[in-house]
Amino acid sequence: MRTATIRDVARAANVSVATVSRALNGSNTVSPPTRNRVVAAAGQLDYVPHSGARSLSTRRTDTIGVLLPDLHGEFFSELIRGIDTATRSHGLHVLLSHSHGDHAEAAAVLRAMRGRVDAMLLMSPYADEGELTAALGGAVPVVLVGGGGSRSHPAFLIDNEAGAFMITRHLLDAGHRRIVFVAGPPGNVDAAQRLSGYRAAIRASGGLSEEVVPGDFSEESGFRAARRLLAAGVPDAIFAANDVMAIGCLEAIRVRGLRVPQDIALAGFDNIPVARFLDPPLTTAGVPIARIGRAAVECCVGILKGRTPNTHQTFTPELIIRASSGGNKHSAEKGRKRRGNRNGEVV
C-alpha cells in the first residue's frame, strides 16, 4: 500500500493541495468546516507528510545533530536526556552520533550530518575544534558543549578550574597535605582545566607540592594510577579528574587493603549518579549535566529562530562533600534532597 500523499488527502477532502497544506499547518485562512474535512480525511488515510519533501521546500529539517565523544555511561546518558527533552519540547528531532575520540572520524561524521540538520551540538573535548567545524563549511550553526569553547561559536562550558580548586581546597581544609592528582587524557581541555585548578589550589596553600600522575578518564587508568602510586607510598589523598577514575582508584585502594577515608581520602569530579552509592560515598564536584544539554539546545533553537540567544554560559560545579574525603564534618548534603534520580527527570 503506497503511503498517502497530500494529493490523496486533497482528493478525499475535495479541496486543493494548497488548502490541505494550509489546514494542516495551522494557517488561519482556512474556514473551520473545510479544516475539519481535511483533518478527517488526513486521519482516515493515515497521512504523514513526507519530511524530505517538506524540507525541500521549507529549507528546514527540524532536526539537530548531536556529536559526542566516546563518553562513558552516566555522563553520556544524562546529557542525552537533557538534550532530547529540550528538543522534543520544541518539536525537533535529534540525530545522534559519537566518535571514538578519533579526530578524522569525527570530521567525517560531521560532514555526513551536514545537510540533514538545521544545527549541530558538538562536544569536542579537544582544543582543535576549529578544524572540526571546518568540515561543516559554515553552512550549519554549531553550538559547543564542554571543552574549551571558541570565539566563533556559542559554547556551554564547565568551570572546571573552579571545581577542581574547590575540591583541592576542601581536601586541604580536611587536613590532607600530600594530595595526588590523577589527570585526564592529554589534549582534553576539561581535563587540563581541572589540572590547573588543582595546581592553583596547591600553590595557594603555601609550602605543599604538586604531584600528578597520568590517566585517561577510564576506570582502568584510575585503577592503574592508584596501584602504581600506592606501591610507592600512601599519600594523604587522591583527587581523580573524574568520578569514573575515582572508582578505579577505589578498587585499587581496596585491593591494597586500605580504607577510605581513614587511610587515604578520595575525591572525583562530575557527580555521576552512582557516586553517592559507592562505599564510601564519593566527594566530588557536581556538574549539572542534563541542564547543560538543555541550555545548549535552547541556544540552538534561539539561533534557528533568528534570535540572538545567550551564546556563552559557564556552569560552576557544586562542591559535594561525602564520606570519601574524610572531611564531612560540615556536610554539604545535610538537609538537601538527594534522592534517587532514576525516575523523575531532574533537568
- Is the separation of the CB atoms in 239 and 181 below 8 Å? yes
Answer with the entry of DNA, its own copies, none that 95 interacts with (C-beta below 5 to 8 A by kind). its own copies
Q: In whole angstroms, what is the distance from residue 280 CA to residue 57 CA?
A: 58
* Cell triple for 218: 577510564
- Binding residues for its own copies, rule: CB under 8 A, are 1, 3, 46, 48-56, 61, 63, 70-74, 76-78, 80-81, 84, 88, 91, 93-98, 100, 109, 111-116, 137-139, 216-221, 223, 244, 247-248, 250-251, 254, 272-274, 277-279, 339-340, 342-343, 345
DSSP 54: H
Q: Does 57 bind DNA (CB under 7 A)?
A: yes
Among 36, 43, 50, 254, binds DNA (CB under 7 A): 50
Residue 39 interacts with DNA (CB under 7 A)?
no
Q: Which does 34 bind (CB under 5 to 8 A by kind): its own copies, DNA, none?
A: DNA
Q: How far apart are CA 221 and CA 89, in angstroms?
A: 39
Nearest CB to its own copies, comparing residues 32 and 335: 335
Q: Which of 62/211 has CB closer to its own copies?
A: 62
Q: Name which of its own copies, DNA, none residue 72 binds, using a CB cut-off of 5 to 8 Å depending on partner kind.
A: its own copies
Of 1, 26, 46, 56, the residue at the interface with DNA (CB under 7 A) is 56
C-alpha cell at 62: 527540524
315 binds, among DNA, its own copies, none (CB under 5 to 8 A by kind): none
Task: Name which position in 36, 40, 44, 58 contacts DNA (CB under 7 A).
Answer: 58
For β-strands 237-240 and 179-182, DSSP reports them as parallel
308 binds DNA (CB under 7 A): no
Instruction: Tell me the sheet residues that pair with 176.
Output: none
Question: How are strands ordered across the β-sheet holding 212-213?
Answer: 212-213, 179-182, 237-240, 265-267
| Partner interacting with residue 6 (select from DNA, its own copies, none; CB below 5-8 Å by kind) | DNA
Three-state secondary structure readout of 212-237: EECCCCCHHHHHHHHHHHHHCCCCCE
Q: Nine-digit cell at 161? A: 578550574
120 bridge partner residues: 65, 142
Q: Which CB sits closer to DNA, 51 or 152? A: 51
| SS3 at position 66 | strand
Residue 146 binds: one of DNA, its own copies, none (C-beta under 5 to 8 A by kind) = none
C-alpha to C-alpha distance for 227 and 13, rounded to whole angstroms: 74
Sign of dihedral through CA atoms 291, 292, 293, 298? positive
Q: Is the link from the previous residue into 281 a cis peptide, with omega within 30 of 0?
A: no
The yes or no reply on residue 11 touching DNA (CB under 7 A) is no
Of residues 70 and 333, the one with the C-beta less far from its own copies: 70
> Could you identify the residue written with the cell 582544543?
127
- Residue 237 C-beta: closest distance to its own copies, Å: 19
Check residue 34 for interaction with DNA (CB under 7 A). yes
Q: How far is the CB of 11 from DNA (least distance, A)?
A: 10
Give the integer Cα–Cα distance in Å for 286 and 271: 5
The residues binding DNA (CB under 7 A) are 2, 4-7, 14-19, 21-22, 24-25, 28-31, 33-34, 47-50, 53-54, 56-59
